[in-house]
Structures are given as C-alpha cells and as structure tokens.
C-alpha cells in the first residue's frame, strides 16, 4: 500500500539489528486518520469474507484494531498480556515469547468474547518472527472460532514469521512488506 510505504520511508528510522522505528505514527504516537485508511484497505482486501470480530493484542495493536472495527462494523477483542483481577470467568490462554523484551508472557482472552461461531480477523501492527501472531492464532483455534485471516500493517519480509504462517494456509494481508533495510543509508526496500 503506497500510502503506508511512503509514510514509512518518510518517518521510519532504520536502526541496528533489524529494528524499524515507526513510533512517530504507529506504535507510540499514533495517526488515527492513517489507521482509518489502513482499515479501509483491509476491508477492501477482505471484501466478501464474512467477519464478525476483530482480535488483536495489547498494546500497539489496539488502535489499528479499533479502526478496523469501525470499518468492518464489528466488535474488537484484545488479548491481554497478564492476569488481571478484573478478568474473571474462564480464560483462553497461551504463551508468547517476546523478542523485543526478551521474555515469555502469558496472553489471555475471555471465552465469553471469542467462541464457536465467531469469524475472526486478526489485526496487528507488526509481523516479524511471528511469535505474537502464532499466539493469537492459537487462541482462535482453542476457542472454536473460525480464523478468516490476518491484517498486518508492517511485515518484516526478511524475518520468517510471514512465510511460516502463510505456509500453514493462513491468509495474511500485510499492507507494507519490508524486503530489506540498510541501517547505514536508511534505505528501505519494499516487496512488490
């Protein structure tokens, strides 16, 4: 999606270790108007697919998922990263390894909000090694809901997550796929 690629080229910063900083518009400061454009693109891509729920994971995914929920006209559920005393009832749980934070955390969703009959679109800001997405897919599978597909803002095409998850037959629509980045020149090449 040209709009997103242009924005990444303009405002993204390539750092050492394959890090792409987009915290000026995607995951610390947020551009809600841009997010509505991304949501419209996911809506176009999933036209004709029945979807009645958006699933994401806290924290950065929530804003994009909210935009998608508005565009699709469906509720959003966000998976939580730790047990909270304000969450009761039965929970679906999984474990996700965070490469960013170097630890494994529990992720939970209430069985009340993800269940058989739901047709779920997963939305997240990044897809890199695929750990978070694998966790969300596992939550959908254990809930008995149907996974209709995934919408990602930025996929790091040089990391294995996208290929791995597509190879399992899951539809993944990434709006910008970074093929390679050069931390010295700052150049970013997108997959066509």
- Report the interface residues with a second copy, using CB under 8 A: 15, 19, 21, 23-25, 27-33, 35-36, 58-59, 62-63, 65-67, 69-70, 73, 75-78, 80, 82, 84-88, 100-101, 109-110, 112-113
CB nearer to a second copy: give 48 or 85.
Answer: 85
CB nearer to a second copy: give 98 or 163.
Answer: 98
Sequence-separated (6 or more) residues with CB below 8 Å from residue 101: none
CB nearer to a second copy: give 70 or 164.
Answer: 70
CB nearer to a second copy: give 17 or 48.
Answer: 17
Q: How far is the CB of 2 from a second copy (least distance, A)?
A: 21
C-alpha span between 143 and 136 (Å, rounded): 11
Question: Helix, strand or coil for residue 64?
Answer: helix
C-alpha span between 45 and 128 (Å, rounded): 21
CB nearer to a second copy: give 152 or 192.
Answer: 152
What is the helix (H) or strand (E) element at residue 40, kind and residue range? helix 32-45
Q: What sign does the CA torsion over 115, 132, 72, 43 have?
A: negative
Q: How far is the CB of 36 from a second copy (least distance, A)?
A: 7
Q: How far is the CB of 168 from a second copy (least distance, A)?
A: 27
Kindly provide the b/e burial profile for residues 165-185, where b requires at least 16 CB atoms within 10 angstroms of the residue's own CB. beeeebebbbbbbbeebeeee
Q: How far is the CB of 75 from a second copy (least distance, A)?
A: 5
Q: How far is the CB of 177 from a second copy (least distance, A)?
A: 19
């Amino acid at each position: 999606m040209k709009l997103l690629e242009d924005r990444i080229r303009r405002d993204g910063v390539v750092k050492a270790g394959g890090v792409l900083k987009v915290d000026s518009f995607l995951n610390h400061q947020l551009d809600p108007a841009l997010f509505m454009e991304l949501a419209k693109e996911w809506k176009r891509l999933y036209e004709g697919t029945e979807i009645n729920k958006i699933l994401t994971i806290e924290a950065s995914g929530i804003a994009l998922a909210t935009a998608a929920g508005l565009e699709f006209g469906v509720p959003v559920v966000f998976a939580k990263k730790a047990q909270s005393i304000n969450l009761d009832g039965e929970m679906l749980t999984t474990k996700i390894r965070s490469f960013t934070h170097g630890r494994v955390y529990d992720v939970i969703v209430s069985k009340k909000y993800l269940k058989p009959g739901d047709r779920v679109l997963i939305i997240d800001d990044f897809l890199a090694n695929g750990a978070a997405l694998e966790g969300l897919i596992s939550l959908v599978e254990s809930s008995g809901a149907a996974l209709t597909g995934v919408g990602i803002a930025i996929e790091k095409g040089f990391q294995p997550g996208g290929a791995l998850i597509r190879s399992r037959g899951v539809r993944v629509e990434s709006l910008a796929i970074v093929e390679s980045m050069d931390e010295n020149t700052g150049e970013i090449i997108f997959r066509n």
